[in-house]
Amino acid sequence: MSPRTLQKDKKEVGPSPNVFLKRSKRQKRIRAEVQMSFRDLQKDKRQ
């Protein structure tokens, strides 16, 4: 293995945790929005 291929592997591995973090943040936001809309629906049912 040449050092060039090693660097390539590091570059490929590097951004993936960042992407994963962004994805989890987005999922959390979506979940919060869903919960909010669900609460609104429940309020409507009570009325």
What local confidence, expressed as pLDDT, does residue 23 receive?
Answer: 83
According to the model, what pLDDT value does residue 19 have?
74
Write down the pLDDT at residue 18: 73
Q: How far apart are CA 33 and CA 29, in angstroms?
A: 6
pLDDT value at position 46?
76
| Cα–Cα distance measured from residue 44 to residue 18, given in angstroms and rounded to the nearest whole number | 39
Question: Please, what are the averages of pLDDT over each run of 10 residues along the chain (47 residues)?
Answer: 57 65 87 92 80
Q: What is the pLDDT of residue 22?
A: 83
The pLDDT value recorded for residue 29 is: 92
Cα 46 from Cα 1, distance rounded (Å): 67
